[in-house]
Amino acid sequence: MRLVGKGACALCVWMAGIASAQEEDLEGRIAVELNAVQTVEQACTLTFLITNGLGAAIDKAVYETVLFDTTGQVNRLTLFDFGTLPPARPRVRQFAVPDMACDRLGRILFNGAQTCDGSDLAEGVCGTALVPSSRTEIEVIG
């Protein structure tokens, strides 16, 4: 479908409004979304979409995470290194969890920020500003 004339401008205004609202929603937050999961051989590959809405670059973000199986039992504690996170620019990061099928993973808990480096970051902000979510059946909390 091709939009022309007034309809195209109306669509542009509507899309700009949505983009602006999403940016405002992230202001002062770090949004981390479990976007997809896939079992590959003997590992569960977790794909995250993470956006830094703090207004300052994060040079290194590492989160301690707890993985729970579908019965609610802790399977393991691990570190997810999200690396460098520029402000207001989404990044995709993948982590392979060995010896676990994705259908056995029930919940992920972001237990805290193990590393949060950046020149203009308030102390503890990587933990307090984290907003976890999931597009999968696996619950993500923090």
Q: Is pLDDT of 8 > 50?
A: no
pLDDT digits (tens, 9 = 90+) for 126-137: 999 999 999 999
Does 81 have pLDDT greater than 50?
yes
Query: pLDDT category, 25, cuts 50, 70, 90?
Result: confident
**Looking at the predicted structure, is the pLDDT value of residue 105 above 90?**
yes
* Domains along the chain with CATH numbers: 28-141 (2.60.40)
Q: If you average pLDDT over residues 65-80, what whole number do you get?
A: 98
* pTM of the full structure: 0.81
Q: Residue 26 has what pLDDT?
A: 83
pLDDT of residue 9: 47
pLDDT one-digit tens code per residue, 31-61: 999 999 999 999 999 999 999 999 999 999 9
Question: Can you tell me the distance from the alpha carbon of 64 to that of 66, in angstroms, rounded to the nearest whole number?
Answer: 7
Beta partners for residue 36, in sequence order: 47
Quick check: 75 pLDDT over 60?
yes
- The pLDDT tens digits for 109-122 are 999 999 999 998 99
Could you give the strand order of the β-sheet that contains 74-85, starting from the edge strand earlier in sequence? 74-85, 58-69, 105-117, 139-141
2, pLDDT greater than 80: no
Work out the mean pLDDT of the chain and round it to a whole number.
87
